[in-house]
Each structure stands twice: as structure tokens, then as C-alpha cells.
């Protein structure tokens, strides 16, 4: 049975098709971040010096922020632009909410 999935503007069940290159790049970044977090866990387990751990945590935060910047730029270039062209003004409100959450 082929069902057509309809998503109302207020729902959070939206999806985004990504190219294989885009997926691969995102997954590679996330794998590196995951490895950094595992490294921090090992540092804690081995009683590493606090400032050394803090520096590594800062590096993870920077990597996540970089990931967010790339993803946000892609979102604006594709999803937001397309929705605005289609007259879906609610997308701007959604973007504003996302930016507010990112800036906490």
C-alpha cells in the first residue's frame, strides 16, 4: 500500500532528502565528534587533569557549533528558500524559533 504522507506545518515529522555526498560529510563530522566524546570519557575514567578535559570539551563544543553552522546554512539555502518561494510564510517563524534555540 502506497500512502501519501501529508505533513501539517505544525508537525515535526518533516524529512529532508540529502545527497549521498552531503550525508557522508555530515556522518564523517559526527563520527569525529563522537570519537572526541569517547576520548573525553576515557580521560575522566583515567583521572585526567581537569583543565585537559575542559580543553577537549571546548573542542567538542566548537565541532558541534561548526556542524550546526553548516547544517543551518544548508537548511536556509534549500528548505527555507523553497518554502518561501511556495508562499509558506510559517517557515520563517520556524527558522526564528530554531535560531532562538541555537542562541541560548
DSSP summary character for residue 45: H
Closest CA to 60 of 43, 72, 74: 43
Q: 0.85 exceeded by the pTM?
A: no
Q: How confident is the model at residue 12 (pLDDT cuts 50, 70, 90)?
A: low
Distance CA 27, CA 70 (A): 13
**Mind listing the pLDDT tens digit for each residue in 62-98?**
999 999 999 999 999 999 999 999 999 999 999 999 9
**Mind listing the pLDDT tens digit for each residue in 42-62?**
999 999 999 999 999 999 999
Start-to-end CA distance of the chain, whole Å, equals: 44
Distance of CA 13 to the CA centre of its chain: 16
**Whether 60 contacts 33, CB under 8 Å:** yes
Amino acid at each position: 500500500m502506497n500512502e501519501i504522507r501529508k505533513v501539517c506545518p505544525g508537525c515535526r515529522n518533516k524529512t529532508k532528502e540529502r545527497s549521498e555526498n552531503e550525508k557522508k560529510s555530515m556522518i564523517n563530522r559526527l563520527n569525529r565528534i563522537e570519537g572526541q566524546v569517547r576520548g573525553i570519557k576515557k580521560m575522566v575514567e583515567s583521572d585526567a587533569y581537569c583543565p585537559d578535559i575542559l580543553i577537549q570539551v571546548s573542542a567538542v563544543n566548537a565541532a558541534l557549533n561548526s556542524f550546526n553552522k553548516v547544517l543551518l546554512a544548508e537548511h536556509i539555502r534549500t528548505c527555507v528558500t523553497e518554502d518561501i518561494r511556495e508562499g509558506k510564510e510559517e517557515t520563517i517563524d520556524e527558522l526564528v524559533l530554531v535560531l532562538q534555540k541555537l542562541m541560548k
